[in-house]
């Protein structure tokens, strides 16, 4: 199985939880739906035109947080938009919204680093994505919308694009999982193997799939275990994918 991998990096991120209202809370990782939008943007596809072609049955995506991160709340003074003319900032009133950001442990010297793995059943899409990802030049390259870690002012860039091979393993086993871990695949987290290492494990319900009306499908939500410190987690699972590099990942599904 051919797999494309790349790093999505930036200084700060915000992946708004879909149910947030007065406070804009953020997921700790880019949800699968966000990553699908980024990939479609890299390929130059129009907004909302790609949901069927990147369904859970056709496209497999895994993600890992590779650098320690933390969250902080910041109040943003946003425009109060009640009519089209207010978009130019001429309105006297603004609204303050508490917004949760993902930032590195050291905001001055650190970066956010998510590693992404992608496999699509359509060979043409894989070939097009490979051309964009594996150019070898770090930057903001895209055939469509700019790469972002959430909202427009959280710019991101791509680095270290590559191709690898992977093999699905169905028998279950003990592995150091590099990617986030779907809860339904977990048999046991091997706490005795963690030793003195520090792990910050959180469970989050992540959006996985939209339909053509931009509504969550029946399989559109999944619970994931995320290590905010970025290290592989020793875990016994029902199934996984082993890469030729020796790494172990699990798809968000």
DSSP for 57-99, please give it.
TTEEEEEEE-S-EEEEEEEEEEE--SSGGGGGS--S-EEEEEE
Looking at residue 196, what is its pLDDT? Answer: 59
CA distance 11 to 161: 19
Q: What is the pTM of this model?
A: 0.88
Tell me the domains of the chain and their CATH numbers: 2-78+94-249 (3.30.70.3120)
Go through 191-218 and write b for each residue having 16 or more CB atoms within 10 A of its CB, e for each that does not.
eeeeeeeeeeeeebebbbbbeeeeeeee
- What does the pLDDT profile of the chain (253 residues) look like in tens digits? 999 999 999 999 999 888 877 778 999 999 999 999 889 888 888 887 888 899 999 999 999 999 999 999 888 877 777 777 777 766 667 778 888 999 998 888 999 999 999 999 999 999 999 988 887 666 566 666 667 788 767 888 888 889 999 999 987 778 999 999 999 999 998 877 676 567 889 999 999 998 888 888 899 999 999 998 888 999 999 999 999 989 999 999 8
């Amino acid at each position: 199985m051919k797999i494309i991998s790349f790093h999505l990096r930036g200084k700060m991120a915000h992946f708004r939880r879909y149910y947030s209202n007065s406070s804009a809370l953020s997921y700790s990782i880019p949800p699968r739906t966000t990553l699908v939008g980024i990939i479609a943007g890299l390929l130059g596809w129009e907004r909302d035109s790609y949901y069927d072609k990147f369904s859970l049955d056709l496209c497999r995506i895994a993600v890992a947080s590779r650098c320690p991160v933390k969250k902080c709340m910041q109040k943003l003074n946003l425009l109060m938009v009640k009519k089209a003319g207010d978009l130019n900032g001429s309105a006297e009133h603004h609204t303050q919204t508490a917004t949760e950001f993902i930032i590195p442990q050291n905001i001055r010297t650190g970066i956010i680093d998510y590693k992404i793995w992608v496999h699509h059943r359509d060979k043409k899409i894989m070939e097009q994505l490979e051309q964009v990802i594996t150019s070898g030049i770090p930057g903001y390259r895209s055939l469509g919308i700019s790469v972002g870690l959430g909202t427009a002012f959280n710019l991101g860039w791509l680095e270290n694009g590559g191709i690898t091979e992977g093999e699905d393993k169905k028998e279950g086993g003990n592995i150091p999982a590099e990617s986030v871990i779907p809860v339904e695949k977990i048999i046991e987290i091997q706490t005795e193997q963690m030793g003195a290492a520090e792990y910050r494990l959180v469970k989050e319900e992540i959006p996985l799939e939209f339909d053509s009306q931009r509504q969550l499908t029946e399989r559109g939500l999944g619970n994931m275990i995320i290590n905010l410190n970025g290290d592989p987690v020793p875990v016994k699972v029902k199934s996984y994918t082993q890469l030729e590099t020796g790494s172990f990942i699990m798809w968000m599904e």
